[in-house]
Structure 1
Amino acid sequence: NMSIGTVVIPLTVVRYLWKFFRPSVPYPADLSGPKKNIAHLAHEMFYLVIFVMLLSGVLMLTHSYRFFWLIDIPNPINDASINGFFFDVHRASCAGVAVMLILHLAAVAKHQLIDKRNIISRML
């Protein structure tokens, strides 16, 4: 888990920054301005919650770990109360990612099946 998280943290940062340099995929023409704003906010919140989950997962460590059984990575914080705080943040953000994922899938299903918008092609 920690080795994968260690790889995913920089990839998440790169993925977030990449969105500023790639051409934006237009929203469907019949999607209203407020709905576009809600979609944009939801995506930004999704990135934030994922990043908080990943970062708090590292900061909650109470001991070192071996990165893919090769290199010892020390825990960055050696204060049990701070580690406990980040453990609570990690738990809450894991729940937040689960909720955001369910909401995301529900929105895709609604747009694809009910509104008959080919939203999946926009995502790909």
Structure 2
Amino acid sequence: MLKNTTNSYGWIAIVIHWLSALMVIGLFALGYWMLTLGYYDSWYRLGPWWHKSFGITLLALTVIRLLWKFFNATPKPLGTHFDQVGARVGHALIYALLLVTMVSGYLISTADGRGISVFDWFEIPALITSIPQQEDIAGAVHWYTALALVILAAGHALAALKHHFVNKDSTLTRMLVAKRNQSNND
């Protein structure tokens, strides 16, 4: 039940999905709140430290998630043809927005040549620092892609609720509880 089957997501995919969702919401809320902080606020330096640390963690989790998705079965999509196409496009956009948001965050944080401390455990080095107006351009990209990501994630949640309450299929429940495939004893 750790691995996906053709009918259900496994516990690994489920945990990664919900951890990613919580982190996206938390990072967006923290990032938005950081915009209101004054120089003398105690969170002026602490907020970005947490934001960067969890951002790098989310990047690692997203890479693991993409590898897991590539090397694992995917449950058959449910719903109409329109639902299935919408799900494929929506998921692709979510992954693209996740990656662009995190790469632009990296470019903001390393524009001055300093690396990113991740929970003071290790540092991600600054590899790209020579883009003209790097911090400003990456900052604009980071804000708009993060905003688009949160809006798309809300649409994703609404689509899952539509599947559950209108279509009355198991799209939502199979991302909540791993079930054994009758033909596969994962």
Q: TM-score w.r.t. structure 2 length?
A: 0.58
* Unpaired runs of at least 5, structure 2: 1-50, 177-186
4+ runs deviating over 6 angstroms: none
Query: Following superposition of structure 1 onto structure 2, how do residues 1-124 of structure 1 map, counting pairs within 5 Å?
Result: 1-28=51-78, 31-61=79-109, 62-63=111-112, 64=114, 65-76=116-127, 77=129, 79=131, 81-124=133-176
Return the offset for 1:67: 2.5
The alpha-carbon distance between structure 1 residues 69 and 26, as it changes in their structure 2 partners (threshold 3 A), is same
Q: Can you list the C-alpha shifts for 1:15-55, whole angstroms capped at 9, x where unaligned?
A: 11221211120123xx2223212211111111110111111
**One-letter amino acid of the structure 1 residue matched with residue 101 of structure 2:** M
What is the identity percentage for the equivalent residue pairs of Structure 1 and Structure 2?
Answer: 25
Amino acid at match of 2:85: N
> CA-atom RMSD, angstroms?
2.0
Consecutive unaligned residues in structure 1, runs of 5 or more: none
Q: Which moved more, 1:87-96 or 1:14-23?
A: 14-23
